[in-house]
């Protein structure tokens, strides 16, 4: 739990640090890229114009963004933590479902935060600047700049969070995978993602950031250069106009005539303005000058090298040049307001950006496909190995590059060669191991069978002697007048009783021999036959009777399976599995007499469940974790570990079933689950 909490804290910390670090980096760039007028930020002038300084606005946007993102992030992590707690305390049948649910949730978080980190601040910034200025072009420039900044933050956070969440998921996997198979259906529960998408998510934003910053930087340089040239031109034009110090003419008309004589660079957008001594403002296009324009001209222009230069607003590319003249003892301010925005420049920059973006997308798409296809080539070959019993080691994948992909192909070819050798070795050893275990089991059974056969053989021998005596008695009675007819009937009855006993003994011996013969069949046989539970229990009783009697252990049989229910397969294979588990249960008592083993047969969810339960000391968790996965024994030198291993393989391969084990200090229970045939009516639960 501490590791999970630590990972979550680390993710939150990195998200915030990435946002703060990139925000600090962009703090000085924003005024430059947006061409803010000199000395117009973080002072009383800006407070009068905007109500807040640039630093206050910037901090407010960053903090609001962090606040909203942290709420979403913490909420997502709490949801993840809740699912994890349910997972660690869940029963085994719920582990797989909860693990996939956790994986799905974790995989979504980086994508959600990635989108939120970009969209939420952009919306806030767009609303803020729309309210402050209202001009679409300024808002667009601001949003593009902050979009590049936020994309950079989101990309850094995405890469780190992906790595951290994957490490976290690996830790959780190791915690639960030991008692649940959570690999086989991963793609079924968790939406598949492509490595191509990951490459796009990481690479395209970096290109956008780079391209936008270069474009905005270039645009800012163009605006600065164009602004200086335009200012110099109009400054010269204003200064070459001569005005009389005194005149009887209408001063305003005189100034207007002089200003109209100027050859304007952009007649459609560049306008002149006149400010009379009483503060009245007149413009050639009848548009009012902004408060920023007039206030900057009055308060800040004198602090700049160009003391007669003014600006329209933050991020606006409209500027102005002005001159103060004195006529009839009164000061008049005249000037020209010029617009630096050129549709040609904007269209050119956007066209270049669009062309480069398309080229980058196509190139990246091709590269991503190249990487994905190479990886897919190896994964498909690995799947063929997993799905096929016969591996052709000669069909190697060609190595076409001297890089990590080439290393992966080389590693695959080596693994394919080793796997082929291992499979051949396994095939060579499998029959030997199976035969060895089968013979070991039969050797254990022979002692019990021999003892079981001794009793009926001795009884048959005694019956034969009894019959011999009766035959002699009958022979001597022939012709004896003292022997009555009833005596003959009595002798016949005694002979019949002995014959009946011999018949019962021979039937018992026949059953034993049949059961032993069934156990001696080839392990790999898979007869297309079916059997009922009574047949299974009868064989188990015959073969285990002596071992149970010797150990002074009682086998309590509870059969709750309907009589019409049958299973497909070889009953002898299942008998061997059950007998092996009963023998293990007997040995779990370590020679303690008067113990019991419960053998219970039930049906549930269209499966037959065979449960073997003892009340011994149980198995350690270490042993339980290795059951059915490797050959492990708790009997020391007296055990091989093959019994349960082969039993599990038999149930899986021959009956398409499963074996699970539950063990604690109060005993051990093995449950064999075998699906019922499809053509059989569904059994009652």
pLDDT in tens, 577-595: 898 889 888 988 888 888 9
Look up the pTM and report it: 0.52
Across residues 162-185, what is the average pLDDT?
65
Strand partners, 321: 309, 336
By DSSP bridging, strand 281-283 and strand 271-275 are: antiparallel
Among 539, 513, 510, which residue's Cα sits nearest to residue 446?
A: 513
C-alpha distance across the termini of the chain, in Å = 39
Report the range out of 190-199, 333-342, 365-374 with the highest average pLDDT: 333-342
* Neighbour tally for 571: CB within 10 Å: 20
The chain-wide mean pLDDT, for the chain, equals: 78
User: In angstroms, rounded to a whole number, what is the distance separating the alpha carbons of residues 258 and 340?
Assistant: 23
Across residues 36-61, what is the average pLDDT?
87
The reported pLDDT for the residue numbered 639 is 44
The reported pLDDT for the residue numbered 389 is 58
Please state which of the four CATH numbers 1.25.10, 3.30.450, 3.40.50, 3.10.20 is assigned to the domain occupying 241-341: 3.30.450
Are the beta carbons of 373 and 408 closer than 8 angstroms?
no
Across residues 191-218, what is the average pLDDT?
72
Q: 104 pLDDT band (50/70/90 cuts)?
A: confident
Give yes or no for residue 1 having a pLDDT over 90. Answer: no
Q: 648 pLDDT band (50/70/90 cuts)?
A: confident
Q: 224 pLDDT band (50/70/90 cuts)?
A: confident
Across 105-109, 132-136, 272-276, 662-666, least confident range: 132-136
User: In angstroms, rounded to a whole number, what is the distance separating the alpha carbons of residues 156 and 114?
Assistant: 10
DSSP per-residue codes, 212-249 = HHHHHHHHHHHHHHHHHHHHHHHHHHHHH----SS-SS
User: In angstroms, rounded to a whole number, what is the distance separating the alpha carbons of residues 173 and 180?
Assistant: 10
Are the beta carbons of 247 and 373 closer than 8 angstroms?
no
The rounded percent of the chain whose pLDDT value lies above 90 is 12
Report the range out of 162-171, 293-302, 510-519 with the highest average pLDDT: 293-302
Across residues 217-221, what is the average pLDDT?
81
pLDDT in tens, 545-561: 878 888 899 999 999 99
Q: 523 pLDDT band (50/70/90 cuts)?
A: very low
The residue whose two tokens read 């009766």 is: 470
Q: From its phi and psi, is residue 31 left (phi > 0), alpha (psi between -120 and 50) or beta?
A: alpha
Across residues 52-77, what is the average pLDDT?
83
Q: 636 pLDDT band (50/70/90 cuts)?
A: very low
CA 444, distance to chain mean position in Å, is: 49
Longest CA pairwise span in the chain (Å): 187
pLDDT in tens, 372-390: 777 777 777 776 766 665 6
User: In angstroms, rounded to a whole number, what is the distance separating the alpha carbons of residues 524 and 431?
Assistant: 9
Across residues 7-23, what is the average pLDDT?
81
Across 350-359, 434-443, 452-461, 595-604, least confident range: 434-443
The reported pLDDT for the residue numbered 322 is 93
The rounded percent of the chain whose pLDDT value lies above 70 is 77
Give yes or no for residue 534 having a pLDDT over 60. Answer: yes
Q: Residue 35 burial (CB < 10 Å; 0-12/13-18/19+)?
A: buried
DSSP per-residue codes, 391-410 = --TT-PPP---SSHHHHHHH
Give yes or no for residue 515 having a pLDDT over 80. Answer: no
User: In angstroms, rounded to a whole number, what is the distance separating the alpha carbons of residues 105 and 83?
Assistant: 9
User: At CB < 8 A and 24+ separation, what contacts does 616-622 make?
Assistant: 616/585, 616/588, 616/589, 616/590, 616/667, 616/668, 617/588, 617/665, 618/663, 618/664, 618/665, 618/666, 618/667, 618/668, 619/661, 619/663, 619/668
Three-class DSSP category at 683? coil
Give yes or no for residue 337 having a pLDDT over 90. Answer: yes
Give yes or no for residue 630 having a pLDDT over 60. Answer: no
Could you please state the CATH topology (level 3) that the domain comprising 527-685 is classified under. Heat Shock Protein 90 (3.30.565)
């Amino acid at each position: 739990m501490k590791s999970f909490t630590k990972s979550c804290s680390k993710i939150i910390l990195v998200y915030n640090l990435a946002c703060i670090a990139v925000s600090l980096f962009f703090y000085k760039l924003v005024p430059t890229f947006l061409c803010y007028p000199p000395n117009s930020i973080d002072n009383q002038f800006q407070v009068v114009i905007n109500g807040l300084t640039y630093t206050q606005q910037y901090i407010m946007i960053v903090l609001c963004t962090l606040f909203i993102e942290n709420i979403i992030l913490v909420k997502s992590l709490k949801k993840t933590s809740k699912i994890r707690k349910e997972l660690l305390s869940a029963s085994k049948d719920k582990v797989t479902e909860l693990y996939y649910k956790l994986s799905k949730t974790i995989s979504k978080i980086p994508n959600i935060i990635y989108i939120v980190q970009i969209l939420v601040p952009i919306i806030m910034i767009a609303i803020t600047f729309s309210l402050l200025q209202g001009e679409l072009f300024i808002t667009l420039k601001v949003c593009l700049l902050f979009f590049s900044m936020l994309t950079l933050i989101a990309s850094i956070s995405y890469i780190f969070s992906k790595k951290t969440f994957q490490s976290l998921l690996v830790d959780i996997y190791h915690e639960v995978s030991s008692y649940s198979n959570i690999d086989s259906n991963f793609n079924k529960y968790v939406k598949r993602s492509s490595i191509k998408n990951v490459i796009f998510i990481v690479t395209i934003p970096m290109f956008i950031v780079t391209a936008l910053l270069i474009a905005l930087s270039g645009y800012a340089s163009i605006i600065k250069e164009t602004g200086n040239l335009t200012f110099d031109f109009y400054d010269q034009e204003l200064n070459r106009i001569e005005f009389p110090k005194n005149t009887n003419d209408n001063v305003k008309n005189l100034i207007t005539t002089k200003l109209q004589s100027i050859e304007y660079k952009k007649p459609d957008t560049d306008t002149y303005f006149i400010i009379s001594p009483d503060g009245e403002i007149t413009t050639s296009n009848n548009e009012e000058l902004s408060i920023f324009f007039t206030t900057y001209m009055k308060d800040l222009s004198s602090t700049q090298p160009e003391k007669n230069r003014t600006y329209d607003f933050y991020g606006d590319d409209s500027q102005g040049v002005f001159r103060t003249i004195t006529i009839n003892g009164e000061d008049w301010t005249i000037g020209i307001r010029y617009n630096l925005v050129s549709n040609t420049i904007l269209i050119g920059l956007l066209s270049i950006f669009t062309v480069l973006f398309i080229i980058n997308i196509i190139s990246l798409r091709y590269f991503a496909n190249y990487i994905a296809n190479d990886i897919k080539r190896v994964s498909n070959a690995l799947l063929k190995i997993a799905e096929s019993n016969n591996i052709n080691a000669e069909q190697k994948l060609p190595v076409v590059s001297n890089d990590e992909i080439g290393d992966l192909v080389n590693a695959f070819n080596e693994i394919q060669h080793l796997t082929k050798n291992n499979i051949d070795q396994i095939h060579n050893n499998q029959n030997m191991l199976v035969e060895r275990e089968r013979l070991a089991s039969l050797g254990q059974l022979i002692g019990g069978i021999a003892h079981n056969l001794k009793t009926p053989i001795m009884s048959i021998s005694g019956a034969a002697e009894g019959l011999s005596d009766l035959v002699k008695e009958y022979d001597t009675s022939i012709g004896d007048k003292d022997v009555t007819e009833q005596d003959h009937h009595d002798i016949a009855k005694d002979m019949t009783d002995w014959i009946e006993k011999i018949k019962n003994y021979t039937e018992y011996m026949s059953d034993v021999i049949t059961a032993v013969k069934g156990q001696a069949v080839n392990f790999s046989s898979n007869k297309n036959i079916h059997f009922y539970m009574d047949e299974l229990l009868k064989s188990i009783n015959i073969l285990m009777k002596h071992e149970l009697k010797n150990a002074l252990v009682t086998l309590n049989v509870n059969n709750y399976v309907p009589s019409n229910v049958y299973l497909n397969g070889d009953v002898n294979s299942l008998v061997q599995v059950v007998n092996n588990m009963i023998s293990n249960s007997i040995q779990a008592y370590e020679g303690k007499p008067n113990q019991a083993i419960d053998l219970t047969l039930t049906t549930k969810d269209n499966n037959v469940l065979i449960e073997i339960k003892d009340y011994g000391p149980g198995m350690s968790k270490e042993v339980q974790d290795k059951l059915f996965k490797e050959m492990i024994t708790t009997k020391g030198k007296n055990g091989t570990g093959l019994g349960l291993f082969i039993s599990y393989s038999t149930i899986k391969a021959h009956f398409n079933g499963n074996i699970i084990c539950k063990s604690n200090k109060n005993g051990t229970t093995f449950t064999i689950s075998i699906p019922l045939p499809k053509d059989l009516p569904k059994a009652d639960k």
